[in-house]
């Protein structure tokens, strides 16, 4: 899948659904085996694409629930190499697109070219590197483009409009719109203010829009219909996993559509 093919997939899928759902897992949490089973359940529940997080010791964009999952995975002895192996197995088993999510330190320590080459070989479609501004990522963006992979860039409510237009030029696939200041998992107000922010995002890029941070229930998904192409569910699925197990996650995700 070339970079533009991810975007094409989103627009095509959107013709048949009023909004797409992207989920998030932390690889190696609760274990490698259960990570795979969780992905399988999410795919069976009908999610449209997924981000696979490589655990990091200081995940600055993540709230306490995902932070705890990162820490437990690392305590379990999860490695970047092991995560990439499992991510490749997942991407080559299930038909939806999979993206890596992590932080630049992980990519840099692995080796930028090696990391991007590995993603390509393992049929991953791109990456969300949450703490990498374009000005500091020239080698990464160059390698991603060379391999036809999608560097997913992020907008936030505090990003000036001209800055949005500028950073959009570095991205491909879709733009991840962060719903509010702060970390994942906290409460998000689904309000007129959010609508105005998304309208600004829409004017800044021609790429599909995804919204994450605080999307928790069907009412949030319904609110986002017609405003973004993708709703991102991350922290809430981990909460459900801890409470109700993998089967509970599957039922929860199915319920977002009905």
Which ranges of the chain does DSSP label H, i.e. alpha helix? 3-14, 32-44, 64-75, 80-91, 104-110, 112-121, 138-146, 161-168, 192-204, 218-224, 235-255
Choose the catalytic residue: 62, 143, 220, 229: 62
Choose the catalytic residue: 51, 143, 172, 229: 51
- Picking from 44, 42, 5, the residue whose alpha carbon sits closest to that of residue 24 is 42
127 strand-pairing partners: 100, 151
Distance CA 73, CA 82 (A): 11
* Entry field: residues in the chain: 258
**Is 229 among the residues known to form the active site?**
no
Distance CA 138, CA 142 (A): 6
**Is 131 among the residues known to form the active site?**
no
Distance CA 78, CA 54 (A): 9
Q: Do 104 and 129 meet the contact criterion of CB atoms below 8 Å apart?
A: yes
Residues with active-site annotation: 51, 62
């Amino acid at each position: 899948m070339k970079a533009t093919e991810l975007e094409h997939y989103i627009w095509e899928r959107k013709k048949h659904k009023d909004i797409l759902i992207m989920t998030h897992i932390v690889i190696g949490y609760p274990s490698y085996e259960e990570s795979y089973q969780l992905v399988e359940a999410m795919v069976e529940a009908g999610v449209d694409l997924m981000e696979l997080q490589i655990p990091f010791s200081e995940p600055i964009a993540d709230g306490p629930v995902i932070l705890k999952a990162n820490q437990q995975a690392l305590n379990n002895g999860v490695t970047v190499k092991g995560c990439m192996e499992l991510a490749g197995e997942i991407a080559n088993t299930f038909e939806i697109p999979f993206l890596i999510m992590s932080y630049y330190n992980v990519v840099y320590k692995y080796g930028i070219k090696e990391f991007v080459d590995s993603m390509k070989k393992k049929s991953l479609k791109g990456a969300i590197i949450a703490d990498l501004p374009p000005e500091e990522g020239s080698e990464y963006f160059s390698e991603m483009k060379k391999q036809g992979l999608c560097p997913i860039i992020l907008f936030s409510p505090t990003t000036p409009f001209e800055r949005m237009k500028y950073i959009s030029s570095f991205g491909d696939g879709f733009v991840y719109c962060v719903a509010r200041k702060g970390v994942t998992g906290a409460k998000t107000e689904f309000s007129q203010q959010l609508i105005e922010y998304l309208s600004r995002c829409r004017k800044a890029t021609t790429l599909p829009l995804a919204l994450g941070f605080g999307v928790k229930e069907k009412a949030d998904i319904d609110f986002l219909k017609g405003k973004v192409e993708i709703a991102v569910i991350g922290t809430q699925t981990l909460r459900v996993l801890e409470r109700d197990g993998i089967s509970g996650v599957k039922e929860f995700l199915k319920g977002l559509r009905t």
